Amino acid sequence: MDPNLRTLTVCAVPGVPLVAPGDDLGALLVAALDAAGVALRDGDVAVVAQKIVSKAQGRYAYLDEHPPSPRARALAEATGKDPRLVEIILSESSEVVAHGPNLIVAEHRSGHVMANAGVDRSNIRSDAGRERVLLLPEAPDAACESLRRVFERRFGVRVATVVSDSVGRPWRTGTVGLALGCAGLPALEDLRGRPDLHGRPLEVSLTALADSLAAAAGLVMGEGDEGLPFAVVRGARWQGPPAPARALLRDRELDLFRR
């Protein structure tokens, strides 16, 4: 559209291969950008799906290696889930926030609250007949910072990075993209103190920039067999210093939806 209008472009980058533990993810993503003819520019945001970050980190867990504890058995009984899977979910969690039929909502050790503490059974090949699941990445903000440096070195510009996941939400059906980690941008943009249209300070003026970018990227990354775990957002604007996705976690004491 008109280049004079405020425009954001979200572009899926094809060519990312299946990722295996120990792979140099930064190098794979740079290779995909090169093959697609996309040179990152100043202000671009590279959005990377959680799955490939976790796979590169080798964050697999094997069901047969996690004999369920009594607590896992009780929660499996209450939810109808596989007790071994529940054991893995509990080992990844700092708190079970709620549970119901076939659903456990838990706070992952990173602080993100989501179904099954982010433990994922989809897109996971069984390994020599052994069932395995994929866990959330370790230290997603640090993983973003590491990727950000790879991109900056390669392209010589200032870029930002987001590691995204698709999550469900209370009260609403369907998943949206969410930022597990970010670097080079303020995860939470603070517009407090800026006047509204009528010169009155904005009441609600913290925007979840990183989550919005993850949701936008989700529109081109897709799920399932499309296999596009990498996108570039061009034209996003923000103000304020970088802050990690950890800044998006609401204080437990201020949260009405924690016990």
Which parts of 203-232 interact with a second copy (CB under 8 A)?
A: 203-209, 211-213, 215-216, 218-220, 223-225, 227-228, 232
- CB of 158 vs a second copy, minimal distance in Å: 18
Give the sheet arrangement for strand 230-234, strand by strand: 160-169, 45-49, 230-234
CB 12 within 8 A of CB 231: yes
Among 23, 31, 36, 155, binds a second copy (CB under 8 A): 36
Neighbours of 173 (CB within 10 A): 6
Site string for a second copy, 83-122 (x = CB under 8 A): --------------xxxx--x-x-x----xx-x-----xx
Q: CA geometry: angle at 17 spanning 15 and 21, to 5°? A: 150
132/148 with CB nearer a second copy: 132
Q: How far apart are the C-alpha atoms of 215 and 156, rounded to whole Å?
A: 27
Residue 250 binding a second copy, by CB under 8 A: yes
Residue 31 binding a second copy, by CB under 8 A: no
31/38 with CB nearer a second copy: 38
- CB of 29 vs a second copy, minimal distance in Å: 15
Segment lying near a second copy (by CB under 8 A), choices 12-20, 62-70, 138-146, 155-163: 12-20
Segment lying near a second copy (by CB under 8 A), choices 36-44, 56-64, 85-93, 156-164: 36-44
Backbone angles phi, psi at 212, to 5 degrees: -65, -40
- CB of 253 vs a second copy, minimal distance in Å: 10
- CB of 41 vs a second copy, minimal distance in Å: 10
- CB of 104 vs a second copy, minimal distance in Å: 10
Q: How far apart are the C-alpha atoms of 236 and 216, rounded to whole Å?
A: 11
52/144 with CB nearer a second copy: 52
Q: How far apart are the C-alpha atoms of 88 and 139, rounded to whole Å?
A: 18
CB 177 within 8 A of CB 163: no
Residues 154-213 that bind a second copy (CB under 8 A): 166, 168-178, 187-189, 191, 194-198, 200, 202-209, 211-213
- CB of 142 vs a second copy, minimal distance in Å: 20
Among 64, 125, 241, 259, binds a second copy (CB under 8 A): 125
Backbone angles phi, psi at 130, to 5 degrees: -90, 130
Length of the chain: 259
- By DSSP bridging, strand 189-190 and strand 230-234 are unpaired
Backbone angles phi, psi at 128, to 5 degrees: 55, 40
Backbone angles phi, psi at 208, to 5 degrees: -85, 80
CB 165 within 8 A of CB 49: yes
- CB of 196 vs a second copy, minimal distance in Å: 5
Residue 130 binding a second copy, by CB under 8 A: no
